[in-house]
Amino acid sequence: MDFKTVIEGLTTNKVDSKLIEQLEKEEELQKILFNLNNEEKEDLIRKITLFAKSDSKKDTKDKNDVYIPVLNKLDFVHCDFTGVGSEWDGPHYGLVWEVNPRFDAVTIIPATSKKRKNYANIIPVGKILGLPKGDTSLLVSDMTKVSRRRLEPVTFNHYTKGVIRTRLQNKWIPSIVEAVALTYGNETTLEEFITQRTIVSMPEDLEDLRSKRFKPVKARYDRENNIMEYRIWNQDNWHSLNMKNPNTQINKSVKIKLVKELLSEDLSVREEAERKYFELYH
């Protein structure tokens, strides 16, 4: 079976004849394809096609050497990734985080509408006009640089303004900055410090733990006086938490499990954890 027949037999749509002609010359690629099963071959051809479409796009700039279309921070874009292994692959939505109008590379935060567990570097931003139905989350941990050739601005038809860009509100910037600090700046969350650095002690009041769980902090623990002090990583004001030791001897693993359950998304788990907390610490 010739190479053209193999490729066309793998795809539901006719492959571009020029692409086939070019691929037929690549002996190394032919060897790779013939050692793959049909599903793997289909996936590889898809990636080659997607990469070729992105790479063949022509750059467009204005008289000031600024790329067109202009991309702005907090614009949502459609990205064509061609990843290997656990890298991002295929079409996905993303958020423009850093962009220079004269540079090709754009820093993108991938977005997803799939339900994700709460983590310090996953930011739920709710429903976004112009994106798929459901709540959107930003995956700061997967932030990456992408060529403009892989990107297309996302637009939607606004009921009064007409066709406009899909954008994230500025109010989310501090949360993203904090997630970046935690992911790439090795900062520590309030939850991590309380869990790992205060032995078996717990805050007398849980409000700060609940409301500032994922805040990056600079903190210290005075074991003798059982007081924890902290400040938000980029602020100067210090806050104090009165800590309490348990009424009975426990090991640290019990406390770690308790903190996790106190912050659970499951209401019944949280309620049972609160009962245990008051039983142990009050």
For residues 75 and 153, the answer to whether their CB atoms sit within 8 Å is yes
Task: Give the pLDDT score at 3.
Answer: 52
Question: What are the extents of the domains in the chain?
Answer: 3-55, 76-169, 187-281
Task: Give the pLDDT score at 69.
Answer: 92
Q: Is the pLDDT at 93 greater than 70, yes or no? A: yes
Q: Is the pLDDT at 142 greater than 60, yes or no? A: yes
Task: Give the pLDDT score at 91.
Answer: 81
Task: Give the pLDDT score at 245.
Answer: 96
Q: Which tokens sit at 18? A: 């020029």
Structural element, H or E, at residue 227: strand 227-232
Q: What is the mean pLDDT of residues 71-94?
A: 78
Rg (CA), the chain: 25
- Band (pLDDT 50/70/90 cuts) for residue 25 is low
* Window from 148-162, 166-180, 193-207 with minimum mean pLDDT: 148-162
Task: Give the pLDDT score at 12.
Answer: 46
Task: Give the pLDDT score at 40.
Answer: 72
Q: Is the pLDDT at 87 greater than 60, yes or no? A: no
- Band (pLDDT 50/70/90 cuts) for residue 248 is very high
Task: Give the pLDDT score at 95.
Answer: 97
- Band (pLDDT 50/70/90 cuts) for residue 117 is confident
The pTM of the full predicted model, rounded to 2 decimals, is 0.80
Structural element, H or E, at residue 17: helix 17-24
Q: Is the pLDDT at 14 greater than 80, yes or no? A: no
Return the ∠ at Cα 141 (arms to 137 and 147), rounded to 5°: 90
Q: What is the mean pLDDT of residues 63-71?
A: 93
Q: Hey, what long-range contacts does 219-228 have (CB within 8 A, 24 or more apart)?
A: 219/188, 219/190, 219/193, 221/193, 221/197, 223/199, 226/201, 228/193, 228/194, 228/198, 228/201, 228/203
Beta-carbon neighbour count of residue 75 at 10 Å? 22
For residues 45 and 80, the answer to whether their CB atoms sit within 8 Å is no
For residues 249 and 212, the answer to whether their CB atoms sit within 8 Å is no
Task: Give the pLDDT score at 122.
Answer: 94
Q: Is the pLDDT at 105 greater than 60, yes or no? A: yes
Task: Give the pLDDT score at 1.
Answer: 43
Q: Quick one: CATH architecture of 76-169? A: Roll (2.30)
Q: Is the pLDDT at 160 greater than 50, yes or no? A: yes
Residue 136: DSSP 8-state:
E
Instruction: Find all residues with CB under 8 Å of 25, minimum gap 6, and list them.
Output: none
Q: Which tokens sit at 77? A: 């874009």
- Band (pLDDT 50/70/90 cuts) for residue 116 is confident
Instruction: Find all residues with CB under 8 Å of 11, minimum gap 6, and list them.
Output: 42, 45
- Band (pLDDT 50/70/90 cuts) for residue 13 is low
Q: Which residue has better confidence, 232 or 52? A: 232
For residues 203 and 209, the answer to whether their CB atoms sit within 8 Å is yes
> Bridge-partner residues for 248, per DSSP?
none
